Amino acid sequence: MRLVCFNINGIRARLHQLEALIASHQPDLIGLQETKVQDSEFPREAVEAMGYQVHFHGQKGHYGVAMLTREAPEEVRYGFPDDGEDAQRRMIGVRLRAADGEHVWVYNGYFPQGENIEHPTKFPHKRAFYAQLQRLLDEDHSPSERLAVMGDFNISPADIDIGIGEASRKRWLREGKTSFQPIEREWLDGIKAWGLEDSYRRLYPEVDDRFSWFDYRSKGFDREPKRGLRIDHILTTASLSERATDAGIDYDLRAMEKPSDHAPVWTELDL
């Protein structure tokens, strides 16, 4: 079973990338973030023509997530259980049945970026979103389950996941810019402590030059060495982690014409 996670940065503008992703990876499940389209205008027919069942949770112009699966999911969850009517559309989950008959839960989130630790609304929203996920795991699931959480987490877990140069790293920390502030890493570590593992890092613990986001403005992807951040992840419980055979970050997709600023990340599971 191949899982792919991709911040597509506007699905209607990136159908060519989605088509290329499918041709290259033939995934069983694709989690998309930042679809940027309200549900009534989601390009359902175009995606279904690519061979996938599609479920989406979006809003006009911002945020939005979608889940594409080869097989119809047994259950779909839209948002968090405690979301209000005005909640940003940032989370979707599906329950699938694997080839061996066992259930697999996959949640796909577009986590708030937060902007700056001093921001009066955006940073608290990021903290609250992580708390909502922690609550969902604590109350609805067990670490013994087959479960994955994928998405644009907007956090670089460790310093080897930072590729913007040492001077920029220090400046971001000093100025309070988000992505690798110590308090943010505490939130992510809390999610992992529940029973989740970074599937890429499990297989490639020392790789320090692969990133998933590259700034358009500074042309971070076109520079050598490339300058970016690893902020897109697929986290898995032990029963999935032990079945992970490979994982990666697809630079070929990021090198396409009119790309998202993110590269797809993927994990292969022996299921």
Q: Which of 152, 161, 198, 250 is catalytic?
A: 152
CA distance 73 to 173: 42
**By C-alpha distance, which of 262, 246, 235, 254 is closest to 2?**
246
Q: Which of 110, 130, 161, 232 is catalytic?
A: 110
- Ligand-binding annotation for 34, yes or no, is yes
Active site residue 28: no
Active site residue 63: no
Q: Where on the phi/psi map is residue 108: left (φ > 0), alpha (ψ -120 to 50), or beta?
A: beta
Any idea of the CA torsion for 229, 1, 94, 248, to the nearest 10 degrees? 0
The residues, ordered by sequence, that sit 6+ positions from 155 with a Cβ below 8 Å of its Cβ are: 111, 179, 180, 184, 185, 187, 188, 231
Do residues 228 and 214 touch, judged by C-beta distance below 8 A? Answer: yes
The backbone torsions φ and ψ at residue 118, rounded to the nearest 5 degrees and listed phi first, read: -95, -5
- Ligand-binding annotation for 152, yes or no, is yes
Active site residue 161: no
CA distance 18 to 26: 11
> Which residue ranges are tagged as binding site?
7, 34, 152, 154, 261-262
> Which residue ranges are tagged as binding site for Mg(2+)?
7, 34, 152, 154, 261-262
Active-site residue set:
110, 152, 262
